[in-house]
Chains A and B, each alone.
Chain A
């Protein structure tokens, strides 16, 4: 059987309008429902009024949608003054006919019920206010004020139902705030009437630190994030920090950037870290975490990139002074505006506030490198789960912004490689550099190794970190058959090896000299023998000559003799005989 495909273009999804509140639009997939009422409920002091006010002000300033603020609690003057701290100038907006404030004052003691009535007066007021500026947005804050002022709740309920219907018919995007009730979302069960979108605000104090949270309880005709999201009220207004809205779809750069320590780059396949990766530098106290972070920052500044340093332990001046001791002068970078410090104690504010401050700073400064030193200090602010979720958001954020982040992390205890909390963090990180104290022979030295480096080849060797006034150096440790030697033990070992080499070298040289000498002696002997031979040959030649002469003399005398005897045949002379013999010897 064939079914007709639903024609998508004919379906018009629910229209939404931007709430103007950063983060809320992401959770709700675009904002609050357009032309419908939204209920915002929560306990006293959780920020309902501010949220509603920001909705109106942002609408008026950013989206050209004027708004009416009908207050049942605070009067116009109080409201104006209260939101001035967020930078909203209600007086100016009122003067420009962008916003109308209307304070509804109900004195229970003045009012006497004398029969049936309705809230037409309120409708007329609202209508008049809406039409006077052509409003598109309406806020009713807090509707409970009516319940306190008017005794007949059944009339009130039916009238409120009519009011919300009326607002909907007029196409007003409205926020109605309500107090939270026992077991109910609102004290008077308003969620039954205003049910298109319900947002719950909550303010909790945990371990003496307060966290505000927001949850979209209901959103008719739209998908929405269902979690509780922390939110903040800061000097820039209301902001929600969604974690799930950031998908895992950030870009992955294959560009490599130097770590600022030459040998560390070598250990990482010779090129350093990936841009946009997160680097955990963990170690116990005094292992040089901050120094490595500072070297990284320095390298970034040398490349002309911006760096942001969040310090949770030391002040800016302290860091600058301390890094000078290892010849890292960061001050010029600060002056040039390439490096910025944000130093604060973690307990100064809640995690969310920190997160927001970091967001803000990164958005404004646009660094390519960020250091959070040390990230573990944040754990004192929240529980482990909270910190982890915050870090997840933070890392996601950094990755989306293509910021390379270094997280020095303090571990306690030196026996174990890592503490459990760190393992939680470690799985989020791309690179994990571990610094360790190696204690032996009465001294302490710093060892460095790379526990993990996603997507790049890396050395599995331990290197010794040497912090001196020449900077940070990594040297090979002596990895002998028995143990790893560092520090003076390593130097001693190296010395011993050098002495050994020297000794063997000297030995070889002596052998060489001996051979040379021997060669001289033998050559001399050969010369003597040769000389002897020459002498013998000479002597022999002399003998031959003598003999030849003798032969000739003899022959002559024989000829003479024969002549004397008058012989008929001349005797044969063999004069060459002796000469031939000499030739043979020479050969």
Chain B
């Protein structure tokens, strides 16, 4: 893997900044064919996006059986894997997306349940 140059990184940062201003989510879901788990993941993520990010996201579903090169390029190990490319930071969600709480947390869409507990008190 090539190390990204500083220029690239700053460019990414700028784009990310712009995107973040737009608040647009860029998601990519990698699945393996039409296994029940894949289907479940697709429906789950679609539901979450439609509920919480309506009109503010792009979701791309990739079948890595058909594009195995991407598995290496994107460092995919588990399936299904959802990658949140934007807004930064990059995050990976593995599993069939049934744990919507975790996804929402990871997408920074829902504050941690007890906002008082933010500082880690009482844990």
Contacts and interface: CB of A to CB of B under 8 A. Distances in A.
Partners in one complex: yes
Q: Is the interface of B mostly helix, strand, loop or mixed?
A: mixed
Contact of B95 (A105, A116, A119, A146): A116
A76 interface: yes
Contacts of A114: 82, 93-100, 102-103, 106
Contacts of B106: 112, 114
A119 B97 CA distance: 15
Interface in A150-194: 150
B25 interface: no
A111 B44 CA distance: 18
Interface stretch (B8-16, B64-72, B115-123): B64-72
B76 A121 contact: yes
Q: Is the interface of A mostly helix, strand, loop or mixed?
A: mixed
A104 interface: yes
B: interface residue count bin: 35 or more
Interface in A462-482: none
Interface residues of A, number: 29
A248 interface: no
B75 interface: yes
A207 interface: no
Nearest to B35: A120
Interface in A96-151: 102-107, 110-122, 124-125, 127-129, 146, 149-150
Contacts of A116: 37, 95-96, 98
Contact of B78 (A107, A119, A129): A119
B77 A112 contact: no
Contacts of A121: 30, 32, 64, 71, 76-79, 81
Contacts of B80: 117
A214 to B, nearest CB: 31
Given A120-B32, A120-B79, A125-B76, A115 B71 contact: no
Interface of B: 1, 30, 32, 37, 41, 44, 64-65, 68-69, 71-72, 75-82, 89-100, 102-103, 105-106
21 contacts: A107-B92, A111-B92, A112-B93, A112-B94, A112-B106, A113-B95, A114-B94, A114-B95, A114-B102, A115-B97, A115-B98, A115-B99, A117-B81, A118-B78, A121-B30, A124-B64, A124-B65, A124-B76, A128-B69, A128-B72, A146-B77
Given A114-B95, A118-B79, 8 more contacts: A110-B89, A110-B92, A124-B64, A125-B72, A129-B72, A149-B77, A150-B77, A150-B94
Interface of A: 75-76, 102-107, 110-122, 124-125, 127-129, 146, 149-150
